[in-house]
Amino acid sequence: MSNKQRKKGGRELDEPFESYHHDHYPFQPVNHVRVDSWKRAVQDVISDVTAQVLYLHPDERTCFRLIERFKAAWFSRISADHFSHETSYYLHLIQISGHLLPLLEGGSGTLAGWLKYQPAPGAEETLTVPVVKQADRLKLYVFETDPAILSRLADMAAYHVLCSSALFPDLLEIDSAGDGHSSIHTLSSFKRKQDG
């Protein structure tokens, strides 16, 4: 990617996705909206497990290996104290892994970088998700289920793709590990929206 263009404040306009991973200052919040700490921890687990799995050869992405990685990340990063009952802790583990792991098992795709987004307008915190590049689409795996936030996330991903000098597929698929739903967006339609 070209790093020649600059935005105000000296940040690179065409920064690679990787530069945003765990960078805490890409947004200036207007209001103070906080993300629940357990939701942030769940998204971190989803992002970390996805990134780990993408470094494996597709033949190595077996159900047993994925389950072990997800359990290890869940138990080390998410406290049962976030939940009112211990049963809820384990049911969330089952539900989220049940939505995410089948999508990763034996699947293709490579890590194209990282995308940082605000889960709510004016949120003082941001969440980071890996961008998965497949032959015909980009994919994001998120915990988020709110359609308005998912739409903003799709617009943000499209914007970064359009600013990039790299070639990317025209489709963006966002898979929610929160409810198991998927949405597919056409990146060129975002460009037409911007041009119109």
Domain edges within the chain: 28-195
Q: With a threshold of 0.85, does the pTM exceed it?
A: no
Q: Of 83, 85, 80, 130, which Cα lies nearest the Cα of 104?
A: 130
3 vs 11, 132, 138, 164, CA distance in Å? 10, 22, 22, 9
Write the DSSP symbol of residue 14: T
Give CA–CA dist 180/171, Å, rounded: 19
Write the DSSP symbol of residue 166: S
129-172 pLDDT, tens per residue? 999 999 999 999 999 998 888 888 898 888 888 887 788 889 99
Helix 37-54 vs helix 63-77: crossing angle, to nearest 10:
150
66-105 pLDDT, tens per residue? 999 999 999 999 999 988 999 999 999 999 999 999 999 9
